[in-house]
C-alpha cells in the first residue's frame, strides 16, 4: 500500500513538473509560443470533459456539455462588458450559474436513462445556441466582442495575479491559469470519486434500484453530480471567452458536446484522468490528420472505431493490461 502510494505521489510530482516547468521551458527555447494557445485549449477542454466523465460515473450519457460551456462564456462576457465586473469574479459566478441552471434542468431529465437522457442533453446544446441567437442581451449572431483581458487580482492590497494586458506574454499567463484550474479540477474529481459520495455514485452506475433499496438518495446524488459537471463546463467556457476576447452562439456547438464525450471514451471511462489523456490525444491527433486533406474525417473515424474495439476501456487500460501481463 505504501509503495503504491509513493508511486502515485511521484507520478503527480512528475506531472506537475512537466506542465509547470518543462513545457514553458521547452516552448521558450523553441520559440513556438503558439503552442501555449494549443495547450491552453487542451487544458480547458479537459476540464469540460471531466464534467462529462462525472455524469458517466453515475450512469448517464451526457452530450450537452457544450450548452453549459456556451452559457458560462456568455455569463462571464456579459458581466464584464455590461456591468464592469472583474473577470476573476465572473469565473466562479459563471460556474455557479451553470450549476444552478443544471439543477433546474436536471431535476426532470435525470429521471431518464440511456439513450433517452443522451438525446435530451444533445438537444440542450442546440437550444442554448438558439437562445444566444434570439436573446437581445447576447447580441444575437454578432456575439460579444472586444472583451478585455483579465485584470489584476488583488487581496488586501497584495497583487496575486497581474493585469494580463500588461504582461509581455499573455499566452503564458493563460496557459498557467488553464493548467492550474485543470490540476485543481482533477484533484477534486479524484477526491470525490474516492470519497463515500463517490462510492455511492458508482452504485448508481451499477444498479439504481438496488442502491435505492438500501437507502441511497439517488435523486440527490444525480443532481449533485450533474451540477458539478455543469460547473466545470461553465468555468471552461468563461476562460475560453476571455482568451478569444469574444463569444458567439457558434462558439460551442453539438460537435463540441460530442467531442467532450469522445474524450472520455478515448481516455477511459473507468479512470478519473481518462478525459485528460483523451483530450490530449484527440486534439493533437485531429491536427496531425489535417495533412491527409479530404480523408481526414474518414481516417479519424476509422481510428476511433478501431481503438474502441481494441481498447474498449480506453487508452489508460493499456497500463493495467501491461501490469497484469507482467
What is d(CA 151, CA 173) in angstroms, rounded to the nearest whole number?
Answer: 12
pLDDT classification of 188: cutoffs 50, 70, 90: very high
Q: What number of residues does the chain have? A: 326
- Take residue 100 and report the three cell numbers written for it: 444552478
Q: Specify the range with the lowest mean pLDDT, choosing from 124-133, 142-151, 159-168.
A: 159-168
Q: Which residues pair with 158 in a beta bridge?
A: 155
Is the whole-model pTM more than 0.95?
no
Residue entry with cell 509513493: 6
pLDDT value of residue 4:
73
The distance from CA 169 to its chain's CA centroid, rounded to whole angstroms, is 24
What is d(CA 309, CA 299) in angstroms, rounded to the nearest whole number?
Answer: 15
Query: Would you say residue 1 has pLDDT above 70?
Result: no
DSSP 8-state class, residue 186: H
pLDDT value of residue 79:
97
Query: Would you say residue 317 has pLDDT above 90?
Result: no
Q: Specify the range with the lowest mean pLDDT, choosing from 12-26, 172-186, 281-295.
A: 281-295
Average pLDDT of the residues in 276-300: 89
pLDDT classification of 326: cutoffs 50, 70, 90: low
pLDDT value of residue 218:
87
> For the chain, what are the domain ranges?
1-32, 34-325
Pick among 3.40.50, 1.10.3470, 1.20.1300, 2.60.40: CATH of 34-325: 1.10.3470
pLDDT classification of 200: cutoffs 50, 70, 90: confident
pLDDT value of residue 22:
95
Q: Which of 322, 280, 272, 291 lies closest to 50 in space, CA to CA? A: 272
Q: Which of 134, 27, 94, 110 lies closest to 62 in space, CA to CA? A: 110
What is d(CA 165, CA 188) in angstroms, rounded to the nearest whole number?
Answer: 30
Query: Would you say residue 285 has pLDDT above 70?
Result: yes
pLDDT classification of 204: cutoffs 50, 70, 90: confident
The predicted-structure confidence for 227-271, as pLDDT tens digits, reads as follows 999 999 999 999 999 999 999 999 999 999 999 999 999 999 889
Structure-model confidence comparison of residues 318 and 228, the more confident one: 228
The predicted-structure confidence for 31-83, as pLDDT tens digits, reads as follows 888 899 999 999 999 999 999 999 999 888 899 999 999 999 999 999 999 99
Calculate the dihedral angle through the C-alpha atoms of 281, 283, 288, 294, rounding to the nearest 10 degrees: 120
Average pLDDT, the chain: 91
Average pLDDT of the residues in 126-145: 94
What is d(CA 211, CA 214) in angstroms, rounded to the nearest whole number?
Answer: 6
Structure-model confidence comparison of residues 289 and 233, the more confident one: 233
Amino acid at each position: 500500500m505504501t509503495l503504491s502510494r509513493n508511486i502515485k505521489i511521484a507520478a503527480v510530482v512528475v506531472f506537475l513538473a512537466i506542465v509547470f516547468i518543462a513545457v514553458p521551458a521547452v516552448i521558450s527555447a523553441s520559440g513556438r509560443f503558439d503552442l501555449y494557445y494549443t495547450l491552453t485549449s487542451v487544458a480547458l477542454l479537459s476540464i469540460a470533459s471531466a464534467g462529462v466523465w462525472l455524469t458517466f460515473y453515475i450512469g448517464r450519457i451526457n452530450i450537452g456539455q457544450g450548452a453549459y460551456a456556451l452559457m458560462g462564456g456568455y455569463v462571464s462576457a456579459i458581466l464584464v462588458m455590461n456591468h464592469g465586473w472583474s473577470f476573476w469574479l465572473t469565473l466562479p459566478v459563471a460556474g455557479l450559474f451553470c450549476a444552478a441552471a443544471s439543477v433546474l434542468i436536471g431535476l426532470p431529465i435525470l429521471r431518464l436513462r440511456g439513450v433517452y437522457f443522451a438525446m435530451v442533453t444533445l438537444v440542450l446544446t442546440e437550444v442554448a445556441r438558439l437562445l444566444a441567437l434570439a436573446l437581445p442581451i447576447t447580441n444575437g449572431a454578432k456575439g460579444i466582442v472586444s472583451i478585455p483581458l483579465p485584470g489584476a487580482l488583488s487581496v488586501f492590497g497584495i497583487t496575486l495575479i497581474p493585469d494580463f494586458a500588461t504582461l509581455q506574454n499573455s499566452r503564458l499567463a493563460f496557459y498557467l491559469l488553464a493548467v492550474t484550474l485543470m490540476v485543481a479540477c482533477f484533484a477534486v474529481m479524484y477526491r470525490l470519486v474516492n470519497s463515500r459520495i463517490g462510492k455511492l455514485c458508482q452504485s448508481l452506475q451499477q444498479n439504481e434500484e438496488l442502491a435505492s433499496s438500501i437507502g441511497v438518495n439517488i435523486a440527490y446524488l444525480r443532481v449533485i453530480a450533474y451540477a458539478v459537471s455543469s460547473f466545470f463546463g461553465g468555468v471552461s467556457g468563461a476562460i475560453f471567452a476571455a482568451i478569444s476576447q469574444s463569444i458567439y452562439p457558434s462558439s460551442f456547438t453539438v460537435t463540441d458536446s460530442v467531442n467532450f464525450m469522445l474524450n472520455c471514451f478515448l481516455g477511459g471511462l473507468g479512470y478519473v484522468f481518462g478525459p485528460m489523456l483523451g483530450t490530449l490525444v484527440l486534439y493533437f491527433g485531429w491536427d496531425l490528420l489535417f495533412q491527409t486533406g479530404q480523408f481526414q474525417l474518414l481516417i479519424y473515424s476509422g481510428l476511433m472505431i478501431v481503438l474502441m474495439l481494441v481498447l474498449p476501456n480506453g487508452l489508460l487500460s493499456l497500463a493495467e493490461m501491461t501490469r497484469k501481463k507482467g
